[in-house]
Structure 1
Amino acid sequence: MITPERIMAWAIPGFFVLIGIELLVAKWRKREVYYSNDAINSLGLGTISQVVGVFTKLFAIGIYGWCVTHLARWSLPADSVWVWISGLLLYDLLYYWLHRLGHEVNVLWAAHVVHHQSESYNLTTALRQTGSGFLLGWLFYLPMALLGYPTEVFAVIALIDLLYQFWVHTEVIGRLGWFDRVFCSPSNHRAHHAVNDRYLDRNYGGILIIWDRLFGSFVEENDEDPPIYGTRSPLQSWNPLWANVEVYWAMLKDSWHARSWLDKLRVWIKPPGWRPADVAARFPKADFDITHARYNPSISLALKLYCLAAFGVLLLIGVNFLGVAPKLELVQAAPYAVYLVFSLWTIGLLMEGRGIGLWLELLRNVGTAAGVGLTGRWFGDVQLDPRMVIAVVALFAVSAVAVLGVAGYQRHHGSTARAAWGRSG
């Protein structure tokens, strides 16, 4: 039986192979497609999304399964080819409306915005996913449950639809002729991610672009108006926690400050960017400037190399978490998840050049080495082989020394670097 877990086990290595190929092709064509800080931030947000998914998967799937069991008028066979084909088409149509309303309703945009924050467009952008989509997204797929599509069919179809969209997040594949007219393609999806007036809030299709043609939301990529990526309220941060809450926080503030009770509600259901007139007057925001500079804080080469290495280790730890977490009790999985999220937050602070990030990273490395060395265990109460204990302690001890080395470099090489070490905000 094909399961979502098995599909993901096959897909994850493929993601990184394709990212490597895209990077090589871009280099060969002398195109600057990747920025290390942006790629780390996108992959880190994808990791956090997967971590959250471990704890919330039963929420959406559980509701769907309950509806299939208690509310469906029919019970469709899971071994029928037409059930799978019709289910995929129906899911893609429902996804279109979830995606479209995710751009037209502020509270839904608050979750979806994470995917659009990157000012780059590459395959790591595809993995940049929200940690809060589970809150409301399940509502859009209830028609499938009411029609009797089995839970296992729904779960696999949902993953297939999501995985298809990975490859369209690239600039190294151009127009594809007839394919662009029927399917979501790199060209069509580049337009979707653009903030240019021409492209804004268009091309919502997941697998098929014909939904956009049917419902009037299609736009073709125009070579004379190249897509510019990001959002019209730029994130300006590598903090993955802030990336997930920035729009929720903005809505809360506007709702709190609004004098009208009706406006307090409208903040959540109006389109993104809408603000009560009295709030906009008292707390004005600068107009969007499409020519604004890319967010790219300057950090030393030593710190950049450390961030890349540390993030590489965190990816391996994240893969381990995703493998073992479903077998763990909540009291075991939760601390592991907190450790991962804290680590990714710290890397974000480092990439912003914040001194507090170096101190927290030093604390993380020393704490990990000490914890494993003293207990001989890893998260989930896993008893490690003595040789593994030595390896883990050595890795994090070396990392701690590297942080101290970076700190020394920051103090002695230029005013910008010194400021980065001393700055704690």
Structure 2
Amino acid sequence: MITPERIMAWAIPGFFVLIGIELLVAKWRGRHVYYLNDAINSLGLGTISQIVGVFTKLFTIGIYGWCAAHLAPWTLSANGIWVWVSGLLLYDLLYYWLHRLGHEVNVLWAAHVVHHQSESYNLTTALRQTGSGFLLGWIAYLPMALLGYPVEVFAIIALIDLLYQFWVHTEVVGRLGWFDRVFCSPSNHRAHHAVNDRYLDRNYGGILIVWDRLFGSFVEENDEDPPIYGTRSPLQSWNPLWANVEVYWAMLKDSWHAHSWMDKLKVWIKPPGWRPADVAARFPKPAFDISHARYNPQLSLSWKLYCFVQFGVLLLIGVNFLDAAPKLALVQAVTYAAYLVYSLYALGFLLEGRGAGIGLELLRTIGTALGVMLMGRWFGTGHLDARVVIAIAAVFGASAMAFACIAGFQRHRTDVTHPASA
């Protein structure tokens, strides 16, 4: 039986193959579309989104299933082709409106903003997903439940719609003629991710761009005004936790400081960027500068290489988590998830070149090595073979020593270059 989990198991290796091909094509064309720090941050946010999904899937699917079972006047058959075709069309239409509202309602933007924060546009951007979309996003798809589309049909259609959108996040595919007029394409979606005035808040379609043409939100990519990516309140951070909460925090502060109770409410439902007049006057923000410098803290080659290798290890651990989590007790799964999130949090500090990252990373690597050695286990597993214990402890112990050397050399070089004044 085809399940969403099986589809994702097939898709994930394909993602990385296509990312590699995109990188090679861009290099061959002499284009610089990848930055290591940005790619790691995007993939890390995608990992956190998947981790959150492990714990929230029952929430979102459970609500849909209850509505389909108790509120729908009938149940459609999953054996009918027309059910799948009509379901995909209806889902894509509902996705269009959820996506559009995600740009027009601040509390929905707070979740969706994660996907737009990258100042690059490549296939890793497609995997840059929110960890809080489950809070309200499920509401948009209740019409499908009320019309009797079975849970299994909804789950697979949702995944198909999402997977389709992966390939459109690239700059190495140009215009596609008639295809651009009907479907969401790389050209159409580049315009969607741009912050230029021409493109702002346009092209919301997931699979079909005809929804944008029908509802007046379509814009064509213009070679004379190339897209510039990111958001109009640049994130300026590689911290994956901050990326998920930055807009929520800004709304909370504005709501707290607003004098009017009506304004306290409007902060959440007005379009992104809206602020009460009294709050904007007391706490002004700088105007958006589309020509601002890309956020790209400079790091040594050895530091970057260390981050790259550690992120590769964390990806493998993340795959293990997704496989193991459904079989673990809740406390074990939460502990494993917290370990992964902490690891990505520490890596974000390293990518920013912040001193606090040194302590966080040494605590992570040394703590992992000692924990596995002392307990002989890995999150929720039985006792590991002694050779496996030694191998895991050796990997993280060697990581700690390598990082200590890199950090020590970096600090020494900084001290020599910028000696303290007498």
| Cα separation, 2, equivalents of 1:72 and 1:383 | 48
Displacement of 1:192 after TM fit?
Answer: 0.1
| Cα separation, 2, equivalents of 1:56 and 1:27 | 39
Displacement of 1:410 after TM fit?
Answer: 1.0
The SS at the match of 1:414 is: helix
| Cα separation, 2, equivalents of 1:418 and 1:386 | 47
1:348 and 2:348 correspond: yes
1:53 and 2:43 correspond: no
Runs (4+) off by over 6 Å? 416-419
Q: Which moved more, 1:60-69 or 1:294-303?
A: 294-303
| Cα separation, 2, equivalents of 1:2 and 1:264 | 47
| Cα separation, 1, equivalents of 2:273 and 2:416 | 35
Q: Which amino acid aligns with 1:333?
A: A
Q: How does 1:361-380 map to 2 (within 5 A)?
A: 361-380=361-380
The SS at the match of 1:278 is: helix
* Number of equivalenced pairs: 420
Displacement of 1:416 after TM fit?
Answer: 9.8
On the 8 A contact 1:96/1:206 being kept in 2, the answer is yes
Q: Which moved more, 1:30-39 or 1:407-416?
A: 407-416
The SS at the match of 1:250 is: helix
| Cα separation, 2, equivalents of 1:270 and 1:121 | 28
Counterpart of 2:11 in structure 1 is 11
CA RMSD of aligned residues (A): 1.2
The SS at the match of 1:142 is: helix
1:62 and 2:62 correspond: yes
Q: How does 1:383-402 map to 2 (within 5 A)?
A: 383-402=383-402
The SS at the match of 1:226 is: coil
> How far does the alpha carbon of each residue in 1:74-98 deviate from its partner, in whole angstroms, 9 at most, with x for none?
1100111100000000000000000
Counterpart of 1:270 in structure 2 is 270
| Cα separation, 2, equivalents of 1:98 and 1:383 | 47
TM-score by length of 1: 0.97
| Cα separation, 2, equivalents of 1:34 and 1:271 | 31
On the 8 A contact 1:52/1:131 being kept in 2, the answer is yes
| Cα separation, 2, equivalents of 1:417 and 1:129 | 40
Displacement of 1:381 after TM fit?
Answer: 3.5
Displacement of 1:208 after TM fit?
Answer: 0.2
1:312 and 2:312 correspond: yes
On the 8 A contact 1:114/1:129 being kept in 2, the answer is yes
Distance 1:175 1:417, change over 3 A: farther
1:189 and 2:223 correspond: no
| Cα separation, 2, equivalents of 1:156 and 1:114 | 24
Q: How does 1:38-117 map to 2 (within 5 A)?
A: 38-117=38-117
Q: Which amino acid aligns with 1:91?
A: Y
Q: Which moved more, 1:327-336 or 1:279-288?
A: 327-336
Distance 1:247 1:417, change over 3 A: farther
Q: Which amino acid aligns with 2:105?
A: V
Percent identity between the aligned chains? 82
Displacement of 1:382 after TM fit?
Answer: 3.4
Q: Which amino acid aligns with 2:321?
A: F
Counterpart of 2:295 in structure 1 is 295
Gaps of 5+ in 2: none
| Cα separation, 1, equivalents of 2:157 and 2:415 | 54
Counterpart of 2:31 in structure 1 is 31
On the 8 A contact 1:87/1:157 being kept in 2, the answer is yes
| Cα separation, 2, equivalents of 1:88 and 1:16 | 26
On the 8 A contact 1:120/1:229 being kept in 2, the answer is yes
TM-score by length of 2: 0.98
